[in-house]
């Protein structure tokens, strides 16, 4: 099994592109494992790297602390659980006030494509992202068409 490397976005090699997913992944439940297995299989089939992008702290702790859920797993526990996934990389982005203001397109352009070399993005059916969760699967498909990456949605 390939180990998960904990690194900053600048540490991801850019030689072969990535198949990625993005989310909070608290608890790493059965639905999460379906997405993780999917990106690992797609990356293996296309000779790319598999990548999970997650956040620390949980975004709601910054944008709406009064609504932030109790975390099921600490970042250390999450790393231990994800180490069993067979993914090539996992990046824990520091979720800050500044990052919370990124519009969906900026997040995708600067971080996912610009720093992480995403060529294919696999998301859950209810994925939301960017400032005020304005981005959804249709937003990603439009941006992907512009920037040259594909988006696949894993159904419930």
pLDDT band of residue 9 (cuts 50, 70, 90) is low
* Spatial distance between the Cα atoms of 12 and 115, rounded to a whole number of angstroms: 8
pLDDT surpasses 70 at 5:
no
Written as one string, the DSSP assignment of 113-131 is IIIT-EEEEEEETT--BSG
Query: Each residue of 106-155: pLDDT tens digit?
Result: 999 999 999 899 999 999 888 888 888 889 999 999 999 999 999 999 88
Q: Are 122 and 42 in contact (CB under 8 A)?
A: yes
pTM summary value = 0.88
* Spatial distance between the Cα atoms of 139 and 75, rounded to a whole number of angstroms: 29
Range of the domain at 97: 5-154
The three-state secondary structure class of 96 is coil
Give how many domains the chain has, as a whole number.
1
Query: For the chain, where are the E strands, in sequence order?
Result: 5-6, 18-22, 49-56, 89-94, 118-124, 150-154
Query: Each residue of 33-69: pLDDT tens digit?
Result: 888 999 999 999 999 999 999 888 889 999 999 998 8
Among 51, 43, 42, 46, which residue's Cα sits nearest to residue 20?
51
CATH number at residue 45: 3.40.50.620
């Amino acid at each position: 099994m390939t180990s998960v490397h904990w690194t900053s976005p600048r540490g991801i090699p850019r030689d072969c592109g990535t198949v990625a997913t993005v989310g909070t992944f608290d608890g790493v439940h059965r639905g999460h494992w379906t997405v993780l297995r999917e990106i690992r299989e797609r990356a293996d089939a296309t000779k790319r790297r598999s990548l999970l992008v997650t956040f620390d702290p949980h975004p709601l702790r910054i944008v709406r602390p009064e609504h932030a859920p109790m975390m099921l797993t600490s970042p250390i526990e999450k790393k231990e659980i994800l180490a069993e996934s067979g993914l090539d990389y996992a990046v824990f982005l520091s979720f800050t006030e500044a990052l919370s203001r990124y519009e969906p397109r900026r997040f995708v352009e600067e971080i996912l494509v610009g720093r992480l070399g995403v060529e294919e993005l696999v998301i859950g059916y209810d994925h939301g992202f960017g400032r005020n969760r304005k981005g959804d699967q249709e937003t990603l498909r439009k941006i992907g068409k512009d920037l040259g990456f594909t988006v696949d949605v894993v159904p419930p």
